[in-house]
Structures are given as C-alpha cells and as structure tokens.
Amino acid sequence: MARPRVMGVINVTPDSFSDGGRFLDLPAALAQARRMIDQGADILDVGGESTRPGADPVDEAEETRRVVGLIAAVRAESHVAISIDTMKPGVARAAVAAGASIWNDVTALRWSPESLAVAARLRCEVVLMHMLGEPATMQAAPAYDDVVGEVAAFLAERARAAIAAGIAPHAVRLDPGIGFGKTPEHNLALLANLDRIKALGFPVVVGASRKRFIAAIDQSAKDEGDRLAGSLAAALAAVRAGADIVRVHDVRETLQALKVEAAISGARVP
Ligand code: HH2
C-alpha cells in the first residue's frame, strides 16, 4: 500500500475496554463515525462484542442488531470502507449485506468451521489476527518459546488456509494481535520485529491503540484515556516497521503524527 491507512475503531458495546458504553445508541455511534470520516479515517472498524478478558459474550442476534444499523447508516451517506470486527460468520454476513467490505476477525477465521467458506463467498477482505487462547483466559499466563516466530508461523498458516478456501490472496491482511495472549514484552518484541510478519507478503494491520502494554511502560497511564501519546509512538513505530494499516481510537491525532513523520522523511536532503 502506498501510504499507511488509518482504521478508526467504533465499538457499539457496553463494555469495550476503551470506548465501551459511549456508542451504544445509533445517534452517538453515527456521530462518532461522522467525526472519524471528517478527520480522514480510511476505514471504520465497527464491533458489537468486546474481546477484552472478562467481557460478557453476546449472542449473534444481539451483536448483529448492534452493528447493522450503524453500518447501513454510514453506508447511506459515505463511501468510507467499513470493516466488521466479529468472530461470527452470521454477523459478518449481515454486516457485508449492510455495506461492510472487510471482515476483521480476532480468531483468524477459526471460531466456526464455516468461517473460511463464508468469507470466501462474501468476497470481502479479511484481517486474520493472531490470538493465543481465548479472550476470557488469554492474559492468564501467555508463554512462547519464540513469540515472533510462532506468531509469524500461525499467520502464514491462516493465510494459506484462507487462500485454499477460495479467499483471494490480494484480500488477505495479517495482524500480530497486540494484547491478545501476550505480555508487554511479547507485544514489544512483535512491534520491534514487524518486518518478519511483513515478510510473509501480505499487508499488515497493527492495533496498539490505548492498550495495556503502554501502562506497563508508563505507570501513570492507568486509564485508557491517558494512553494517547504512547499510542501515537506505537503507531509511528509500527508504520516505520512496515505496517500498512493502523487500528486506532484517535484518528485525527494519529493522522497528524503520520503526516509529520512523512513530511520529515520527504524533506531529507539526498
Ligand atoms: N484489538 C481489539 C479488537 N479488535 N482487531 C484487530 N485486527 N487488531 C486488534 O489489535 C484488535 C482488534 C481490542 O480493542 P477494542 O476494540 O478497542 O476493545 P474491545 O475488544 O474491548 O471491544
């Protein structure tokens, strides 16, 4: 991709770790979507179920109800790309019918035996993310012999499975899954060695925004709202290391940081 894309997060949930409860009703969610579009978001990532440890599971009907109204309302007034952040094929199907064109799945299309075939039939882009274990327990004691090697091997296998199921190779994106079954050190190792994920040959997505590893580095950042500066540092580092899409809560600030970085790089004297 020629320039990094910014994916703005909108969680239509009562319990997401950062914006839970803020966008549960359609007018509030649509206002946030409009704000992110005005600020220059390339993609809106709409989620109806939190994946944070301890979050309540949501049934398919309720998750669909939460996301479809917002997706249809955004699609009625904007051409912005919309991704649906879900593990459930039924939710993805309804979201694509309403106007989404990307299925972002934190289970890398493993949650249901139907996921791969449904994604192939929908002809949507797919974000395949690495997660160790399951959301409820993934942060209990995550352990790897070689976190970067294991995450890269997993993503390579999921990309192969996706393509074997009929998903177009150019529709595949890979995500190391910052915070999903990882200690702060694991997250830092992945961010520092993103080139090994990039070497798999697919566009790379990174979601570090407001995550807890930032508080492990700066203990004054206990609240998610205090992690903007750390999120910007992580987004810049990710893009410098080859990330094609950064998934963020703060679109305007992220774009400003990326533009300043690009302007400085462009001003280098040959
Ligand atoms: N992180 C979250 C959710 N979905 N998808 C991808 N591809 N990459 C990520 O890093 C990622 C993701 C968690 O963040 P958030 O949506 O803000 O919280 P919650 O899961 O509590 O709704």
Determine the distance separating the centroid of ligand 1 and the alpha carbon of 51, expressed in angstroms. Answer: 7
- State which amino acid sits at residue 247: R
Q: Which residues pair with 103 in a beta bridge?
A: 84, 126
Question: Is 243 exposed, middle or buried (CB count within 10 Å of its CB: 0-12, 13-18, 19+)?
Answer: buried
The catalytic residues are 211, 247
* The pLDDT of residue 270: 83
Q: Which residues pair with 205 in a beta bridge?
A: 245
**Best residue for ligand 1 mutational test, from 66, 84, 106, 228 (most atoms within 8 Å of Cβ):** 106
Question: Is 146 exposed, middle or buried (CB count within 10 Å of its CB: 0-12, 13-18, 19+)?
Answer: exposed
* The pLDDT of residue 137: 79
Q: Are 9 and 248 in contact (CB under 8 A)?
A: yes
Instruction: Please give the backbone phi and psi of residue 112, each rounded to the nearest 5 degrees, phi first.
Output: -125, 145
* The pLDDT of residue 1: 60
- State which amino acid sits at residue 140: A
- Is the CB of residue 50 below 6 angstroms from any atom belonging to ligand 1? yes
**Best residue for ligand 1 mutational test, from 50, 131, 151, 254 (most atoms within 8 Å of Cβ):** 50
Question: Is 113 exposed, middle or buried (CB count within 10 Å of its CB: 0-12, 13-18, 19+)?
Answer: exposed
For each of the chain's 270 residues, which pLDDT tens digit applies? 668 999 999 999 988 888 888 888 999 999 999 999 999 999 999 999 998 887 888 999 999 999 999 999 999 999 999 999 999 999 999 999 999 999 999 999 999 999 999 999 999 999 999 999 888 777 888 889 999 999 999 999 999 999 999 999 999 999 999 999 999 999 999 999 999 999 999 999 999 999 999 999 999 999 999 999 999 999 999 999 999 999 999 999 999 999 999 999 888 898
CA atoms 152, 200, 261, 235: torsion sign: negative
- Is the CB of residue 107 below 6 angstroms from any atom belonging to ligand 1? no
Q: Which atom of ligand 1 is nearest to the CA of 52?
A: 21
Determine the distance separating the centroid of ligand 1 and the alpha carbon of 257, expressed in angstroms. Answer: 21
What is the pTM for the complete model shown? 0.96
- Is the CB of residue 207 below 6 angstroms from any atom belonging to ligand 1? yes
- Is the CB of residue 49 below 6 angstroms from any atom belonging to ligand 1? no
Q: Are 124 and 103 in contact (CB under 8 A)?
A: yes
- For ligand 1, atom 9, the nearest C-alpha belongs to 207
Count CB atoms within 10 A of the CB of residue 142: 16
* The pLDDT of residue 97: 98
Distance (Å, whole) CA 151 – CA 130? 6
Q: Are 61 and 21 in contact (CB under 8 A)?
A: no
Q: Which atom of ligand 1 is nearest to the CA of 55?
A: 21
